[in-house]
Amino acid sequence: MKWKKHFISIIIAALLFANIAPNLISAQGYDVVSEEPIVMVSIDEIQDVNTEEYQQELYDELNKNLIYSDDSTINIRNIEIYDNELLVQTTFESEALKADLNIKFDSESEEIVIDSVIEENGTVEQNQYRVTMQQLEDDHYSTIFTNLETDETFESNPVRLQASIIPAIVYRIGSAIIQYTITKIGTKKILKIGKRSFYSKSKDAAKKAVANFTDITLDVGGGKKVYFTKAKMRHILERHHPNYWTGKENKSFFDPDLSVNDIKNIVIKVINKNKLTISKQLNKQQKISVRAKVNGIEYEVNFNGHGHVSTAYPVGK
């Protein structure tokens, strides 16, 4: 499948990553605060992909978003699906350059690997890259290429391209194919904390976890009370507990080994250590945030102006 276009430069529309912030999700929390939680994105199940439809749509996508010279062509040589792997093989050719890219998606190991062979001005360069997608915020992602031989890493940057680290042709065509494939097939999100990985869950997981949770009312003095409901415990689990996380972008997570009862007790302890402050603030009917250390970790508990716990999470040691 071939086509020709003007090749002023290879441009991915809006660089495919418009408005990406320069930094990855930074996160505190987790029992070992130095372990920074990172949200990874991988393709979902691939067995049901219609290869002919996918190839045509990928052709249309590349044709729409990439610009070529009159003497250049790009060919999607082959698309195969076997077991848990999707293989996309492409060739780009111009008068001075030829680039073969084999891109392999593995839905089981969550790995994306690019094998590239570039011929330019009589020289041949072969490289292999591992590509990871990290969630920044909302639906924006950072694409990271790691050269498997040199271990050099290139992270996509909408402002500045580090072309010396990775050939621009590999980055731009590879990124276009990966971004489209992830959008086409669907994604699964993986929260990585150190060496541990946690897949995003449906809301049913947290719902089941709080099935036996009973709403709590605590006296904070001065005739004031605060309330911790089942609904808010569920909210905390969905946003801040790795085992019940639903995929939302967040900056802090509880130790994954903490139970629902453990988190309930943490919230109660933080409240008990801040009774006077909470009582005074409730008189103003304004939102309240208090912090306290429990077992060496500092936690924050937030309330609305009527004394209902709205959320809770770790903030560090």
Q: Could you report the per-residue pLDDT of 28-49, keeping only the tens digit for each?
A: 333 434 456 666 666 666 767 7
The three-point CA angle 292-295-300 to 5° equals 30
Give the span between the Cα atoms of 236 and 259, in whole angstroms. 12
Question: For residue 90, what are the β-bridge partners?
Answer: 76, 101
What pLDDT was estimated at residue 9? 34
Q: Report yes or no: 156 and 170 within 8 Å, Cβ to Cβ.
A: no
The pairing of beta strand 111-120 with beta strand 97-106: antiparallel
pLDDT of residue 160: 44
- In 3D space, the residue among 99, 111, 253, 90 whose CA is nearest the CA of residue 177 turns out to be 90
Provide the phi-psi class of 154: left if phi over 0, else alpha when psi is between -120 and 50, else beta.
beta
Cα–Cα distance for residue pair 220/309, rounded to 1 Å: 13
**Are the beta carbons of 240 and 193 closer than 8 angstroms?**
no
Distance in angstroms (rounded) separating the CA atoms of residues 195 and 19: 30
Cβ-based neighbour number of residue 300 at 10 Å: 16
pTM of the model: 0.59
d(CA 182, CA 132): 12
DSSP one-letter code for 68: -
Rounded distance between C-alpha atoms, residue 300 and residue 290, angstroms: 6
Contact present, 103 and 85 (Cβ < 8 Å): no
Contact 269, 207 (CB under 8 A): no
Distances (CA, A) of 71 to 122, 125, 167, 286, 306: 18, 22, 20, 66, 69
Helix or strand (DSSP H, E) at 173: helix 168-185
pLDDT digits (tens, 9 = 90+) for 182-233: 877 776 677 877 777 787 888 899 999 999 999 999 999 999 999 999 999 9
| pLDDT tens digit sequence for 225-276 | 999 999 999 999 999 999 999 888 777 899 999 999 999 999 999 999 999 9
Hunting for tokens 């903030």 — which residue is that? 315
